Amino acid sequence: MPGVEIVKVKETDDGMRLNRWFLKYYPGLSLGRLQKLLRTKQIKVDGKKAEASFKLVAGQEVRVPPLQEEKSALPEKAALSARDADFIRSLVIYEDKNIIILNKPAGIAVQGGTNTDRHIDGMLSALKSAGEETPKLVHRIDKETSGILVLARDRKNAELLTKAFRERDLHKTYLALVRGCPPRAEGEINAPLLKTGEKSVVSRDGKKALTRYRVLDSAGKKFALLEACPLTGRTHQIRAHLEHIGCPIIGDGKYFGGTRERFSQLSNKLYLHAYKIDLSEIYNKIPEARAALPEHFKQAFDYLGIKFKE
């Protein structure tokens, strides 16, 4: 067929996901268009249908249909502003030859999407050293969640970290300020979650989801500060689980028992913070990393009389 390319996978791309391979070599191709081409079998690997997550092997042949339209439609990439470069550098709380750890503020997305032009992923070039790869995302946290975000320095470490996050080898701890107080000081929430649209709901048809929690302090029975550790990795797991036990997170517009409450003396931000992560399973010389609390947490603690020592 005219315009069809058969491209052999290079040694340097061995192990790369198919969608990332297209992002690298055909940056004008949108994700939606890529998914359609895969679904209609216009893109194949070694003559067979492949999913976006398919991991390529050096020497394999990728069938690429005509993509001239996507290439010509690619707008010129805007240079990163000095303001954004300074901003992303200010978020770094730890870095070495393998990883970079950021303390992401609430309100900025990790990746771009519909009506989202400014995001962490678009600023990572400012963290690149001369002669090195641009740091890579290996996991995500919600736009309104603040705290720890781990980046890989290169593709080798990205693969290592992605696997560790997927297999739950990295232990993350979140802080959540909730309405109400659990009847038990600590426990486990074992409730399967089903993804429906933009939410996850507790359902017998869902996937196994387990969250461990501990009450750190409370303001009577009206508010409590919880430590939450997700033992599985479902979408919005902590938010959905805390709503499920009757303790929704303050400032959560999606998981608040139907109607979001606003408290006049508290910020209108989400009170969920990725506080610390233990990387010792894969980098045994790296200490536990902690992300300082955002101001809206500190102000709420002062107002409610909740005690927490960072």
Query: Within a 10 A sphere around the Cβ of 277, how many other Cβ atoms?
Result: 22
Among candidate residues 282, 221, 296, 279, the one with its CA nearest the CA of residue 94: 279
Structure letter (DSSP) for residue 238: H
Same domain, 205 and 276: yes
How far apart, in Å, are the Cα atoms of 148 and each of 103, 141, 170, 256, 292?
5, 8, 12, 24, 9
Query: Which CATH number is 54's domain given?
Result: 3.10.290.10
The model carries a pTM of: 0.77
45 & 98 share domain:
no
Domain final residue, candidates 166, 182, 212: 166
> Same structural domain for residues 33 and 63?
yes
Q: Which long-range contacts (CB under 8 A, 24 or more apart) does 37-42 make?
A: 37/65
Q: Which helix (H) or strand (E) holds 45?
A: strand 44-45
Range of the domain at 52: 5-73
* Number of domains comprising the chain: 3
Please identify, among 126, 142, 166, the residue that sits at the C-terminal boundary of a domain.
Answer: 166
142 is catalytic: yes
Rg value, the chain, Cα: 22
Rounded distance between C-alpha atoms, residue 188 and residue 165, angstroms: 20
Residues 186 and 280 in one domain: yes
Give the residue among 142, 175, 139, 176 at the shortest CA–CA distance from 160: 139
Is residue 19 within a helix (H) or strand (E), and if so which, with residue range? helix 18-25
For residues 161 and 181, state if they share a domain. no
Tens-digit pLDDT profile for the chain (310 aa)?
557 889 999 887 888 889 888 877 777 777 778 888 998 999 999 999 999 889 999 899 999 988 754 443 334 456 789 999 999 999 999 999 999 999 999 999 998 776 778 899 999 999 998 778 889 999 989 999 999 999 999 888 888 898 888 888 889 999 999 999 999 999 999 999 999 988 999 999 999 999 999 999 999 999 999 999 999 999 999 999 999 999 999 999 899 866 566 787 899 899 999 999 999 888 887 768 999 999 999 999 999 999 998 8
Question: How far apart are alpha carbons 222 and 210 in whole angstroms?
Answer: 25
217 and 291 share a domain? Answer: yes
- Which among 96, 142, 169, 252 is annotated as catalytic? 142
Residues 176 and 155 in one domain: no
